Amino acid sequence: MIMSKDRLRKSYKPLFIVFLLVAITTGGVFVFSMLGKSQEERRNREYEISLVNALKNSYEGIEEIKISNPNYTNPPGSWSCDVEIKFNDERKTKYRIGHGLHDKKNYQGSLTNEKRQFLNNYKGVTDLKVIVTYSDNSTGEQ
């Protein structure tokens, strides 16, 4: 009887080791994916704050900015997003825009001639605080 219990324990030992290795590997993959996600979120927030400042330096009368669908390519390392701008006269425009962290102004974007003319009417500087909806759906003032 004692002999059979030892055999039973020995037969489960390799199975337990395999299970333990699978659990450790799964946990490691989960931790690294979470770290990557938080780095991506930090990078997006850094670009989004910089973009809002550049847009405020480019257009006057901005009341609200909504940022969505951020995309970062690596290489070459360019960042872009969809941006919706609402001005103090209640008019809005939405377009895709690229941005560099060190850009002080930003007039670029995937714009039709109509949207470019629309934005040209607002060239200037916004000094007041702007309501911002970031790509993670959090809001703030900048």
- CA-to-CA distance for 91 and 94, rounded, in angstroms? 11
**Is-contact 107 83, C-beta < 8 A?**
no
pTM for the model stands at 0.74
In this predicted structure, what is the pLDDT of residue 12? 72
Q: Is residue 12 part of a domain?
A: no
Of 29-33, 38-42, 117-121, give the range with the top mean pLDDT: 117-121
Query: Is pLDDT of 8 > 90?
Result: no
Q: What is the pLDDT of residues 79-106, one digit of tens each?
A: 999 999 999 999 999 999 999 999 999 9
Q: Is residue 106 part of a domain?
A: yes
Q: What is the pLDDT of residues 44-74, one digit of tens each?
A: 999 999 999 999 999 999 999 999 999 988 7
Q: Is residue 134 part of a domain?
A: yes
Q: Find the domain containing 86 and state its range.
A: 37-141
Longest dimension (CA), the chain: 92
Counted domains in the chain: 1
